A and B are shown apart, each in its own frame.
Chain A
């Protein structure tokens, strides 16, 4: 077993005192940002991404692994206690979790969620270890036409199939593509769209775009409504949390079912964990109805917390595999991780395992270490984490703003990047205000250059013949799947729009 040897070497690299400390710091920071009300795991990654750049790559990625999973663990806490899930991947957990909290079982819900996240993450990471080399082998067989198809698949799936509106999704995608075009063209060396600013020759920094859209855009969006909307009520919890043997036996099948839903979505670019968590929740709901479970939907059933949480982390774990082996981001958060690799001059994909094998295996080993640490810190100190929900909103958002400025300035030490950050932040606010999805922008910024170079290479190889783009079975399958998904989405959207229009009630007093 080649992989086991590699993994053992990885553990040897990960289990040094310094690296354990980076995992722990990452896990603590990730959980903290995930728990804070209104912030999710993508915010955790975006805010903490620039700060890690002063570390050496291995330490930075180890810390990142902690942040990545920590955010996922933390997301559900705010959902269960406040009914305000930090990220939409925690919504499905919130349905039953908050009902449990309201009926005095907050600690049980938190424990089920933490254990579910652990099991989902553990199974997914184990699978990544064993299947990443096969994925790499698959990816090395990919030519420019296949890579272009993969990029198009990710573009259309995230901007049109899963999002609320096709026009808005595609507009967001196009905005992202424009941002990605700025800078020197890699193939010909032509300077493009820099309006003469030498600072833009390397392109608009990915850190500026992610921090601006995800962090500053969110601050401005919350600010635009902070004096108008009421704030949520908190349900108190305290002390340590534990699961009884009976709870464990009841939840185990749900954890496994959830994991099974989560795993495939780690390699399909469908925006991340939202779809599998909802599928897992729906399955538990139907099963509960069949079994006539009286808790489900009333006082809250632990199965309804267990399955979505396991699904969410299983997706996150598998997404790590797709990211390392294929260089394919399946969600906005995964796109941020790719940005981190690019910042160090590394391109995730098949070559990464050859060129930086040591680092990849150390990273995979630290995912396991991180999961164990997260389980401990979430089970033992759940009450303490819940205290973070008491941080007043004004300190929270002031802190986010200052941290955004710090991160962007630290990366480039240039004031002009801060002005770009403010501009992108305003763009992020405008997109939130008018319900434009943000994920397509990030996917376009990360995959845009790949799409362009693979398209141009493919057309150079084929001397301009477009038929080359659909010449292999892999490309044909991808385009067919995509077309089917888009047609189905358009039919569904049209039906729901007709229904909404029929029941629309515009003004309260007319």
Chain B
């Protein structure tokens, strides 16, 4: 513990240990390929109704070709450059920072802010993304969906709220429990009772 805390910066440590170091983005290439393949299988096996020309397979075929082309182009660009993300990153890929900087007469780095930290080669290697926190949240949501019909909105939503507070590093579990039940009860009253949205009451429904 103490050794990692002594490096107080959040600079990430990277080492090139194998083929996938700095190339984890190949996950996206894989996703594009899976989508393209699923789409082509779906298009080929489609049970076409009617005889419209062009038919329902016409547009998907174009999308399919586009997807395969993009998957190849993306795969090549990832293989060419290993990328190691560095520190906090507030950039928005919806917009080219270069373009906005030119229009705003500013420096590129000022647009989204830039991290002065660079990844280093020494120290403890850890994943850029904190998979433990993500795991807690995804697990919490999955448990929420499974429990919703059984426990009802108030209890399951309170549970979800509490788990996410915990995952985000809240240090007051008991106080959070109170907040969780307040939030879930108020939302049940406001949306379920007030606006008439159908939220499951669960086993509490029999008692109320």
Contacts and interface: CB of A to CB of B under 8 A. Distances in A.
Interface stretch (A8-16, A123-131, A186-194): A186-194
A292 interface: no
B94 to A, nearest CB: 4
B148 A415 contact: yes
B167 interface: yes
Contact of B168 (A175, A223, A271, A286): A223
A419 B12 CA distance: 33
B52 A187 contact: yes
B179 A452 contact: no
Most buried by A among B94, B112, B168: B94
A405 B39 CA distance: 29
A435 B128 CA distance: 14
A446 to B, nearest CB: 15
A464 B53 CA distance: 8
Q: How large is the interface on A (under 10, 10 to 19, 20 to 34, 35 or more residues)?
A: 35 or more
A220 B133 CA distance: 9
A174 B66 contact: yes
Interface stretch (A352-360, A406-414, A471-479): A406-414
A397 B161 CA distance: 9
B130 A223 contact: yes
B94 A271 contact: yes
Interface string A393-433: 11101110111011001100101001100100110011001
Interface string A143-187: 000000000000000100011110110110011011001000101
A334 B32 CA distance: 27
A223 B132 CA distance: 9
Nearest to B167: A223
A268 interface: no
B94 A225 contact: no
Contact of B56 (A187, A220, A274, A399): A187
B60 A181 contact: yes
A508 B118 contact: yes
Contacts of B162: 398
B54 A429 contact: no
Interface in B63-94: 63, 66-67, 70-71, 73-74, 77, 84, 87-88, 90-94
Nearest to A398: B164
Contacts of A103: none
A281 interface: yes
B199 A224 contact: no
A399 B112 CA distance: 26
Contacts of A279: 103-104
B19 interface: no
A285 B48 contact: no
Contact of B49 (A190, A439, A489): A190
A278 interface: yes
Nearest to A417: B145
A165 B83 CA distance: 15
B145 A430 contact: no
A133 to B, nearest CB: 32
A193 B42 contact: yes
Contact of B103 (A168, A170, A190, A278): A278
A61 B120 CA distance: 52
A509 B95 contact: no
A62 B126 CA distance: 49
A75 to B, nearest CB: 13
Nearest to A168: B93
A385 interface: no
6 contacts: A88-B92, A164-B95, A187-B56, A397-B164, A436-B93, A508-B117
Given A224-B133, A406-B199, A409-B199, 18 more contacts: A162-B95, A168-B93, A171-B74, A178-B35, A190-B48, A190-B50, A332-B94, A397-B164, A398-B183, A405-B141, A405-B144, A410-B197, A425-B141, A434-B25, A436-B93, A438-B94, A456-B52, A460-B54
Q: State the 9 A-B residue pairs at the shortest beta-carbon distance, nearest first.
A: A394-B168, A278-B104, A508-B118, A410-B197, A282-B105, A229-B88, A398-B164, A224-B129, A188-B50
